[in-house]
Amino acid sequence: MAGQSKVQPLPPWGNAVAGATGAVIANALVYPLDIVKTRLQVQVKRAPSTADANPADEHYTSTLDAISKIVKSDGLSGLYAGMPGSLIGVASTNFAYFYWYTVVRTLYLSYRKVSTPPGTAAELGLGAVAGAIAQLFTIPVAVVTTRQQTVSKHERKGLIATGREVVDSEDGWSGLWRGLKASLVLVVNPAITYGAYQRLREVLFPGKTTLRPLEAFVLGSMSKALATIATQPLIVAKVGLQSKPPPARNGKPFKTFVEVMKYIIEYEGLLGLFKGIGPQIMKGLLVQGFLMMTKERIELLFILLFRYFRQVRAEKLRKLADIAAEKAKNAGPILTK
């Protein structure tokens, strides 16, 4: 009985589907916050004398101010600009991340030949490796989505057309991988997030294989808040790399995230590296909370489905074995004659 009750681990694709589904649902629920935090992160602080100089170049003072002005200029649909591309990016990034995280973690445990969970440093390292692999395949969608989110309504184009614009106007196809170095550095964000999640789970809920929805939500929110605070300057720099250059640069794009950070510090001071952190943390808390809550439920559903299919298969094999035994029994007397 103990063997039957044991929870079997999901294969990599099962974890990937669960993670991607949870991420899409979570990001769809709070997508307007993604628009707001991106707009806040790419804008450059202006002097009071130039605050109303260019009405087309909208400036936001807070999250609520950004929501109000976006709705006023673009309607409610403006809060969902670039959403299809963003959700494609979210799905692909999280599918790749959770798939490779499961693979590298399984390989690590097999190599170590131990059943105990990896330590905090090892969890961070495994998460970083998985995140780096995922970024290589999914960053073009992030570049296109950021461009869609940061242009005005009359400049906004579809996903494919925006991708072509990036290719034609910048560094060719390599333009779709703009910000790759910053993204690779930022793999520490999901690494910190999921490393903290695993560690908090083991400390607060030792030996518990399935968390309640509220427990998963709280753990996910706590771990994401820690990661966001630690990596916010890099997040701001990455958004600056992937969006259109500010007017002061006369159309010259940034080349490195260090260049973006120097520009922000020069024009806005050190605190400029943390602009948009309010909606960033709020979005992170909600997204990560919903993501882990949904992922835990989907994983449980998959585990139950796998267990059901295994039972059905075992039942069929038993029936086949019984039929074969019956045939052998009936054939026995004939063969002995």
Q: Read off the pLDDT of residues 139-181 as tens digits, 9 standing for 90 and up.
A: 888 788 877 777 777 777 777 888 888 777 766 777 777 777 7
How is the chain split into domains, by residue range?
2-310
Mean pLDDT (the chain) is: 77
Higher pLDDT, 87 or 178: 87
Q: Determine which of 30-39, 115-124, 151-160, 269-278 has the lowest per-residue pLDDT on average.
A: 115-124
Calculate the alpha carbon distances from 30 to 21, 24, 196, 271 in Å: 15, 10, 23, 25
* pLDDT on residue 54: 45
In the chain the first and final C-alpha atoms are separated, in Å, by 44
User: Does the pLDDT at position 239 exceed 60?
Assistant: yes
Higher pLDDT, 59 or 10: 59
* pLDDT on residue 331: 63
Calculate the alpha carbon distances from 206 to 3, 95, 199, 220 in Å: 20, 27, 10, 16
Higher pLDDT, 91 or 187: 91
The owner of tokens 């309640």 is 212
User: Does the pLDDT at position 56 exceed 60?
Assistant: no
Tell me, which fold does domain 2-310 have in CATH? Mitochondrial carrier fold (1.50.40)
Cα separation of 232 and 225, whole Å? 10
* pLDDT on residue 4: 39
Q: DSSP 3-state assignment of 323?
A: helix
Cα separation of 85 and 312, whole Å? 40
Q: Could you tell me the pTM of the whole model? A: 0.55
What percentage of the chain carries pLDDT values higher than 90? 0
Cα separation of 96 and 16, whole Å? 7
* pLDDT on residue 120: 66
Return the closest-CA partner of residue 273 out of 62, 59, 45, 46: 45
Q: What are phi and psi of 289, to 5 degrees?
A: -65, -50
* pLDDT on residue 125: 79
Q: How confident is the model at residue 332 (pLDDT cuts 50, 70, 90)?
A: low
E-strand stretches of the chain: none
Angle formed by the axes of helices 257-268 and 213-242, nearest 10°: 90
Q: Give the single-character DSSP code of 54.
A: -
Element (H, E) at 202: helix 188-204
* pLDDT on residue 300: 77
User: Does the pLDDT at position 12 exceed 80?
Assistant: no
* pLDDT on residue 34: 84
* pLDDT on residue 50: 47
Average pLDDT on 56-67 reads 79
Angle formed by the axes of helices 31-42 and 120-149, nearest 10°: 80
* pLDDT on residue 3: 40
